[in-house]
Copies of this chain bind each other. A is one copy, B any other.
Amino acid sequence: MKQTAVACSNIAFIKFFGKKDEMLRIPMNSSISMNLKNATSTTTVEFSEEVHTDSINMTDREKERIVTHLDRIRKIAKISLKAKVVTENNFPKGSGIASSASGFAALTVAATKALDLNLSEKELGMLSRVASGSACRSIPTGFVKWEKGTKNDDSYAFSLYPPSYWNLKDAVVIVDRNQKPISTSKAHGLSCTSPFLSKRFEGMDEKIKECEGALAKKDFERLGELIESEALNMHAVMMTAHPSIFYFRPGSISVMETVWKLRKEGIQAYFTLDAGPTVHVIYEGKEEDRILPVLKKLESAKEIIVSEVGEGAKIISDHLF
């Protein structure tokens, strides 16, 4: 009744942004991401009769989301046992790395295994998705596509390529550790007030195709251009919402300008940003020595977490309690 799982967070090349079904987290568009090997959540879940009441370092909202998710899993297993959950991230809070993706992927894998539910990767993904959309992309290995689908059982994630397929790296440049002013969920909701959201959706199928094509050909320039224009597209939608959701901080711009400068010098680096000020700089591993020292010199870079492509969520034997 006690299991521990580890799951990577992921960074989306094509973003999950906007929901067709709020409750089931069916997205408006398919998305593509890579898992981040060096940004993981480890979660131990134990089911028993014992009641646990401590919630350390957790907001009410976080606690509620976890409890709701455990209830989903209890329902599948047809049990009503209490659960003890301990989870640890190997990356700091407020880093702009999606801890809800890695966290809910690890929780789903650990909790279902603890209850001896034998779920397939597809089922684990769909279950994670309902807790936190992008968590479904942290279940399969390497480069992952989340097929948007239309309902619960056809909106799921699968691996396009394993980590060994392409040595891409993500230098996560943290420029601001403060809690971001508007949560990702709230940004999703407000985005419908932007005059540009519908136009964004119109272009998404084409973008997904192009991204798959660039991955298939290992065409980094094409992939990079796509990643960057996709991030700017999402931020353009957010900043034209009412009220405006504006995540760029001065430091974000410094990093973005540095990436553009690197490219002018012939060094292939591209950036993406999720709903926050952190800039993810994506490059091929072989270019690291020409890129990382430049980023490290930036005054605005409070911390840099470098990650290769990571594996899917899995059970491990070392428990956290």
On A, residues with C-beta under 8 Å from B are 195-196, 198-200, 202-203, 228-229, 232-233, 235-237, 239-240, 242, 244, 246, 248-254, 256-257, 300
Contacts and interface: CB of A to CB of B under 8 A. Distances in A.
A236 B300 contact: no
A300 B250 CA distance: 10
A240 B200 CA distance: 10
Contact of A240 (B236, B244, B257): B236
Contacts of A250: 250-251, 253-254, 257, 300
Given A196-B199, A200-B195, A229 B251 contact: no
21 contacts: A195-B199, A195-B200, A195-B202, A195-B203, A229-B240, A229-B242, A229-B244, A232-B244, A232-B246, A235-B239, A236-B236, A236-B237, A236-B239, A246-B256, A248-B253, A249-B257, A250-B251, A250-B253, A250-B300, A252-B253, A253-B253
Contact of A199 (B199, B246, B249): B199
Contacts of A257: 249-250
A196 B254 CA distance: 25
A191 to B, nearest CB: 12
Contacts of A239: 232, 235-236
A244 B270 CA distance: 13
A204 to B, nearest CB: 11
A260 to B, nearest CB: 8
A148 B161 CA distance: 53
Pick the 4 closest A-B CB pairs, nearest first. Answer: A236-B236, A250-B250, A196-B196, A250-B253
A119 to B, nearest CB: 39
Nearest to A239: B232
Listed residue (A196, A229, A248) with the most chain B CB atoms within 10 angstroms of its CB = A196
A317 to B, nearest CB: 47
A228 B199 CA distance: 22
A196 B236 contact: yes
Given A228-B244, A229-B242, A250-B250, 11 more contacts: A195-B196, A195-B200, A196-B196, A196-B236, A198-B199, A232-B239, A232-B244, A236-B236, A250-B257, A250-B300, A252-B253
B233 A240 contact: yes
Contacts of A252: 253
Contacts of A256: 246
Nearest to A237: B236
A253 B300 CA distance: 14
Listed residue (A228, A244, A254) with the most chain B CB atoms within 10 angstroms of its CB = A244
Nearest to A255: B250
Nearest to A248: B253
Contacts of A232: 239-240, 244, 246
